[in-house]
């Protein structure tokens, strides 16, 4: 019985030491190697960053058709002094699955939303797009 208790005692001690080492490593990583907080020069406000947001509400209509399925690509281009940072697209209203957003892509020159109209059934609703812009450097 003495060896079982001794083994358990050593296992508990090893586990405690491992937990303390993991906690110290986590604290070191969280505070950084310098011991201070990480530098964060993020703007607190989009106005300070000179950002701009374009908002569009579009009624989707298929521009091309293959079989019974329609397709549309919506492209939003920024003004000449801005570049696209990111964008968001949602569909509201209309019949369920009458329009599906198949993909979105953002490049500095444009934000693009690809739509599919499976079977062209139902009311499509509205496509709401928000594009965040930054000034060209």
| DSSP annotation of 18 | H
How far, in whole angstroms, is CA 26 from its chain's centroid? 27
Dihedral angle of Cα 120, 123, 125, 127, to the nearest 10 degrees: 10
**Closest to 52 measured CA to CA, from 137, 136, 133, 135:** 133
What is the pTM assigned to this prediction? Answer: 0.63
Q: Give pLDDT tens digits along the chain (137 positions).
A: 444 455 555 555 555 556 555 555 444 444 444 444 545 555 566 667 778 999 999 999 998 888 889 999 999 999 999 999 999 999 999 888 899 999 999 999 999 999 999 987 888 899 999 999 999 88
| Token code pair at residue 17 | 């030491």
| DSSP annotation of 120 | G
């Amino acid at each position: 019985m003495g060896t079982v208790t001794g083994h358990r005692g050593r296992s508990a001690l090893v586990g405690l030491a491992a937990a303390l080492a993991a906690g110290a490593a986590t604290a070191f990583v969280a505070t950084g190697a310098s011991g201070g907080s990480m530098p964060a020069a993020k703007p607190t406000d989009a106005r300070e960053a000179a950002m701009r947001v374009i908002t569009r509400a579009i009624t989707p209509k298929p521009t091309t058709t293959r079989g019974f399925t329609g397709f549309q690509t919506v492209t939003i281009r920024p003004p000449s002094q801005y570049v696209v940072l990111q964008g968001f697209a949602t569909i509201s209203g209309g019949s369920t699955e009458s329009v599906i957003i198949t993909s979105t892509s953002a490049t500095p020159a444009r934000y693009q939303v690809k739509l599919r109209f499976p079977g062209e059934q139902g009311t499509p609703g509205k496509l709401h797009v928000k594009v965040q812009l930054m000034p060209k450097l």
